[in-house]
Amino acid sequence: GAGVSQSPSNKVTEKGKDVELRCDPISGHTALYWYRQSLGQGLEFLIYFQGNSAPDKSGLPSDRFSAERTGGSVSTLTIQRTQQEDSAVYLCASSLAGVAGDTDTQYFGPGTRLTVL
C-alpha cells in the first residue's frame, strides 16, 4: 500500500489478557516508531526500530510491553496482562532514514484504538 497501515483498527479486551498490535510501514522505510496517545493528550514515544534492531526502547512504560520487527518491515507491539491504563490509541510511524544526527519526516498510520475493560 501507499501508506502505513495498522491492524486491528479497534481492539477491546479484558483486563489481564494479552494483545498484539500490527504495523505495516511504507515499503522501503528503514525506520519504524511506535507511539501512544491517551485521550486528549499528545503522543508519547514508545520504541524506535532501525531495520530489525531497536536502538531506543526508552519509552516502553513497563516490561509488559514489547515489540519486534522482522524482515525490516512489519512490526508487532505486544502488551501482556493488559491494564485499564493501557487504554489508548497506539500509533505507528515510519520514515526513510532515521540516521543519527537527523530525523526524517515520519508518516503515521491510522492507529489502533485499544480499550481495556
Applying CB under 8 A, the residues found at the interface with another protein are 31, 33, 35, 37, 39, 41-45, 48, 50, 55-56, 58-59, 89, 91, 93, 98, 100-103, 105-111, 113
Residues sharing a CB contact under 8 Å with residue 38, sequence separation 6 or more, in sequence order: 44, 87, 88
Q: How many CB atoms lie within 10 A of CB 14?
A: 8
Amino acid at 63: D
Q: Smaller CB distance to another protein: residue 14 or 27?
A: 27
Amino acid at 59: G
Q: Smaller CB distance to another protein: residue 80 or 107?
A: 107
Shortest distance in whole angstroms from residue 26 CB to another protein? 12
